Amino acid sequence: MGPTSLADPLSASDPSDDGAASAALVTTSQKVITTAIVAGPALALALVVWLLWGSVINLTDVVIGVILYVATGFGITVGFHRLFTHRGFVPNRALKITLAVLGSMAVEGSVTSWVATHRRHHMFSDQAGDPHSPHRYGSGGMAITRGLFFSHVGWLFVSDNSSAERYAPDMLKDRDLVLIGKLFPLLALASLAIPFAIGYAISGSWVGALMALVWAGLVRMALLHHVTWSINSLCHTFGRQSDGSTDQSTNLWPLAVVSFGENWHNIHHAHPTWARHGARRGMVDPSAWLIGRFERFGWATRVRWPVPSADLAGTES
Ligand SMILES: [Zn+2]
Ligand SMILES: [Zn+2]
């Protein structure tokens, strides 16, 4: 049963993209364009921070922003993704609720809708039915450029909902998660209200509160959004393929730290339930590290750690 609402059919995959050692999926000019799109806003932000440092941004805003980025980021990677979507471990109730709340505060949709969309992505990965494949328009130069934009943000503007009844019926049976889903608008608001309140408490002024709202609320949220979307776009286009997945997912090492290990996306597509995506030696995977801590504390059990296998015997940078 395929989905029905793709406007453009996917082109047939290139038979030369067989998942062997590396993926040269796009031309150099496209890489330059994409790098500009990805790095441009970050460089502009760095420039703004440098110019405004001490006037309308200060260390307090940055510290609050980093804390909230880490908390909501792990809510997405450990909670929404590795736990709720793929059931990579079994949490106790308090951990389950905490991760669902923190992930909701990343404002990437309610936990149920996020899980339904992502399960559909795995089910149809880079084929017709994938809600955000960069390969939906084909493998030519302009087609990939267009596809990258679509997979990054364009898909968010298309009416193509993934049915929770079909893709996430287990989520609908969990009363805690249903309630947290209903509270999503409030949690989204809290994600901005919290830095605003902390900014006011620390600075004692409305200006201080507003600046914390902008930097630790809005900018922090935008950065995490782009990192998450980069997994959908860049990690299905650039990087290396070597782990036996049947799609065009890649491992893209520069995103390891900011994405908390979600960048080892080719390994993830080959072994979706593994709690560790960076399964090779030297692969940084902060989310797997955190799940390991949860296991040690007894908050997470039945963790699905990678099993040694021939296809992960090599090393890869
Ligand atoms: Zn993917
Ligand atoms: Zn996944």
Ligand 2 center to 118 CA (angstroms): 6
Question: Which residue is listed with tokens 């995490």?
Answer: 224
pLDDT at 34: 53
Owning domain of residue 134:
28-48+56-307
Q: Is residue 178 part of a domain?
A: yes
pLDDT at 29: 67
CA distance 121 to 200: 41
pLDDT at 308: 74
pLDDT at 309: 65
**84 closest CA partner among 97, 67, 68:** 97
**155 closest CA partner among 124, 187, 177:** 124
Which SS3 state, helix, strand or coil, does residue 58 take? coil
Task: List, as own/partner pairs, every contact residues 179-185 make where C-beta atoms lie below 8 angstroms and the sequence separation is at least 24, other chains included.
Answer: 180/97, 180/100, 180/101, 180/104, 180/110, 180/111, 181/110, 181/111, 181/112, 181/113, 183/104, 184/104, 184/109, 184/110, 184/111
Q: How many CB atoms lie within 10 A of CB 244?
A: 15
Task: Sort 172 into a burial class: Cβ within 10 Å, 0-12 / 13-18 / 19+.
Answer: middle
Q: Is residue 196 part of a domain?
A: yes
Could you give the C-alpha distances from 93 to 149, 216, 285, in angstroms and in order? 38, 29, 24
130: its two tokens: 């994938």
Ligand 1 center to 232 CA (angstroms): 6
Name residue 240's beta-bridge partners.
251
Name residue 57's beta-bridge partners.
53
Q: Is residue 146 part of a domain?
A: yes
pLDDT in tens, 90-109: 999 999 999 999 999 999 99
Give the count of domains, the chain.
1
Query: Could you list the mean pLDDT of each consecutive 10-residue stretch along the chain, which spans 317 residues?
Result: 31 34 52 60 74 79 96 98 98 98 96 96 93 89 89 84 94 98 96 96 92 91 93 92 82 95 96 96 96 98 85 47
Q: Is residue 286 part of a domain?
A: yes
Ligand number nearest CA of 121 is: 1
With contact defined as beta carbons under 8 Å apart, do 255 and 238 qualify?
Answer: no
Ligand 1 center to 91 CA (angstroms): 24
Q: Is residue 20 part of a domain?
A: no
Ligand 1 center to 233 CA (angstroms): 8
148: its two tokens: 């990258």
Ligand number nearest CA of 266 is: 1
Ligand 1 center to 269 CA (angstroms): 6
pLDDT at 24: 41
**305 closest CA partner among 88, 80, 96, 119:** 88
Ligand number nearest CA of 247 is: 1
Ligand 2 center to 272 CA (angstroms): 6
Determine which helix (DSSP H) or strand (DSSP E) holds 300, and give its type and residue range. Answer: strand 300-301
Ligand 2 center to 17 CA (angstroms): 21
Ligand 2 center to 9 CA (angstroms): 23
CA distance 271 to 130: 18
Question: Which residue is listed with tokens 């059931």?
Answer: 87
Q: Is residue 282 part of a domain?
A: yes
Could you give the C-alpha distances from 188 to 80, 102, 105, 107, 308, in angstroms and in order? 15, 10, 5, 6, 40
Ligand 1 center to 313 CA (angstroms): 22
With contact defined as beta carbons under 8 Å apart, do 270 and 311 qualify?
Answer: yes
Q: Is residue 16 part of a domain?
A: no
Task: Sort 93 into a burial class: Cβ within 10 Å, 0-12 / 13-18 / 19+.
Answer: exposed
Ligand 1 center to 126 CA (angstroms): 8
Q: Is residue 144 part of a domain?
A: yes
State the Cα angle at 102 between 178 and 66, rounded to 5°.
165
Ligand number nearest CA of 117 is: 2
pLDDT at 11: 33
Ligand number nearest CA of 114 is: 2
Ligand 1 center to 139 CA (angstroms): 17
With contact defined as beta carbons under 8 Å apart, do 99 and 76 qualify?
Answer: no
CA distance 62 to 65: 5
Ligand 1 center to 249 CA (angstroms): 6
Ligand 2 center to 273 CA (angstroms): 8
Ligand number nearest CA of 271 is: 2
**86 closest CA partner among 295, 297, 291:** 291
